[in-house]
Amino acid sequence: MKRIKVAPAVLREAYNIFDGVYAPVSGFLKRSDLESVLFNMRLSEGGIWPIPIVLNISEREYRDLGDAEQISLTDERGKTRVVLDDVEVYEYDREIYVRQVFGTDSNDHPGVAAARQGGKYFLGGEVKWADPNRKNPARYFTPSQTRDLFRKKGWRTVVAFQTRNIPHRSHEFLQKQALKIADAVFIQPVIGKKKKGDFKDELILKGYESLLEKYYPQGRYYLASLPLQMRYAGPKEAVMHALIRRNFGCSHMIIGRDHAGVNGFYGPLEAQNIFDEFSSEELGIEILKFGEVKHCSACGGLNFASTCPHNGEDHISLSGTGIREMISRGQKLPEELVRPEISELLLNHPDPFV
């Protein structure tokens, strides 16, 4: 069996495939599936999937692998961690890939810049085996484990909430709105490689751990992590995230404004509107399209902007850039927007950003 050495991020993608996180994807995509996903948001057999899960290889590897049928993926020390079967090596135009996934070819988009580093050679194949003794991140559970957990708790309806940020009061507001219609909320921050300026993984998890027991109804939440590389692909990534939460056993998912967007590349409602292209029956999960949340001094609390009768002068808001600037200056964050426990956690950390 031929072997190639891959980065930890590639192994993580393979583990996610093997664990069923990316179902119906069962391997790194071959050319026919890649093209179908790029142009139809579906695998060639018809299942919905919006963003290719691919394995880039070098030109040398492309030529060396030849007609190999099985390939082992090794870690940086040369230990086999994953075995691929029914392998195909192929070439594909990276610029077509970039434009179809991200809707832009601008290198100012972090996903575009990262994708272009991969080059034009790909390795496709079914993930047939993955190291059962691999080390998983803190609070990671497989989809089968969370589905079993939800059943044991008697939760029939579970709302997924994704985040790559520290907990804001607006996030808490949305999660508690979801608890009005569901048995529980499944809070699953994305951990792994992110863009510069995002919050570090350990702070996001610690932030939620510090809040859940104090501010949330007991027995109606679960905190887990999702090891996943953000693409910042906006609406298409929103669909991918929803399918992933379906696989974990969630019945609903919150999709807010500009989900998985970056730097104004996508309209604020694109990530919600894309779900109009699919039925909830086919998706296998209901989408909760929640609007923007504002703290209104006149109302005396948090409200959806669409239901608040007051104007912008009464609204208190703080952008991610504003949070970073305040923390860098050693300033506490406004309690109307961020719980004091989170402000203290960030201020006491020597370097809270990626």
Q: How many CA atoms lie within 13 A of 280 on its CB side?
A: 9
Residue 99: both structure tokens together: 């434009």
SS3 (DSSP) at 73: strand
C-alpha torsion sign, points 115, 120, 123, 126 = positive
Query: Is residue 208 within 8 Å of residue 345, measured between CB atoms?
Result: no
Cα–Cα distances in angstroms (integers) from residue 283 to residues 141, 195, 243, in the given order: 22, 29, 7
Left if phi > 0, otherwise alpha if psi is -120 to 50, otherwise beta: which for 119?
A: left
Bridging pattern class, strands 221-223 and 121-130: unpaired
Report how far residue 248's alpha carbon sits from residue 144's, in angstroms, rounded to the nearest whole number: 7
Distance CA(57)–CA(316), nearest Å, equals 48
Distance of CA 235 to the CA centre of its chain: 12
Q: Which residues contact 71 (CB under 8 A, 6 or more apart)?
A: 1, 2, 3, 4, 65, 83, 84, 87, 123, 125
Catalytically active residues, by annotation:
164-165
Task: Provide the 3-class DSSP secondary structure of residue 229.
Answer: coil
Say if CB 259 and CB 241 are below 8 A apart.
yes
Distance CA 262, CA 183 (A): 32
Residue 24 preceded by cis peptide, ω within 30: yes
Cα–Cα distance, 93 to 119 (Å, whole number)? 9
SS3 category, 39? helix
Dihedrals φ, ψ of 174, to 5°? -65, -40
CA–CA dist 253, 243 (Å, integer)? 10
